[in-house]
């Protein structure tokens, strides 16, 4: 038996687990979402949560789009939410199993819809010491997870 099949099997096993030597698996990142979301991602590089707001009806438009879906205005203006950015858990789930090696190493973790104060409802991860203690209506605060191209918005539960 040559070494090649073993090497191929090893590479296949690494691909299946996401392992590359001793390096930890990396987080899968969203792809750059184009010109409508560019200002948002640029803001994350400065740890600023930027949202588009309609200058006519004053509503925050989320997800970012080129126009206002509420009144039809064709121009939106970007603003930065004041720091610290707080929010309230609208609903959530606790992920206890995951096939991807990065997320499998994080279980159990919380994925939630969070209502940002004077901002949009966003899908995000909420860090909390005890996932089983989290409740709808709990307060959270924005945190940033550093990434190569931009920072990823996450939230942390505020102890009550």
Contact between 102 and Zn ion (CB under 5 A)? Answer: no
Segments in the chain forming alpha helices (H): 3-17, 38-45, 101-104
Contact between 33 and Zn ion (CB under 5 A)? Answer: no
Contact between 66 and Zn ion (CB under 5 A)? Answer: no
- Considering only 26-34, 38-46, 68-76, 95-103, which stretch makes contact with Zn ion by CB under 5 A? 68-76
Q: In this structure, is the dihedral angle defined by the CA atoms of residues 134, 84, 113 and 57, taken in order, positive or negative? A: positive
Contact between 54 and Zn ion (CB under 5 A)? Answer: yes
Contact between 112 and Zn ion (CB under 5 A)? Answer: no
Sequence-distant (≥ 6) Cβ neighbours of residue 59 within 8 angstroms: 53, 68, 70, 71
The residues binding Zn ion (CB under 5 A) are 54, 56-57, 68, 70-71, 73
């Amino acid at each position: 038996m040559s070494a090649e099949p073993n090497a191929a099997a090893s590479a296949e096993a690494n691909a299946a687990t996401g392992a590359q030597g001793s390096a930890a698996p990396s987080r899968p990142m969203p792809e750059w979402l184009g010109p409508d979301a560019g200002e948002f991602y640029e803001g994350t590089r400065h740890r600023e949560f930027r949202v588009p707001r309609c200058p006519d009806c004053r509503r925050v438009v989320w997800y970012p789009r080129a126009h206002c879906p509420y009144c039809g205005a064709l121009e939106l203006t970007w603003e930065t939410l004041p720091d610290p950015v707080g929010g309230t858990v609208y609903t959530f789930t606790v992920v206890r199993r995951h096939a991807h090696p990065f997320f499998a190493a994080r279980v159990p973790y919380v994925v939630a819809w969070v209502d940002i104060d004077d901002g949009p409802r966003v899908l995000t991860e909420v860090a909390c010491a005890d996932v089983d203690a989290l409740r709808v209506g709990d307060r959270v605060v924005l945190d940033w997870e550093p990434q190569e191209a931009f920072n990823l918005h996450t939230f942390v539960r505020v102890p009550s």
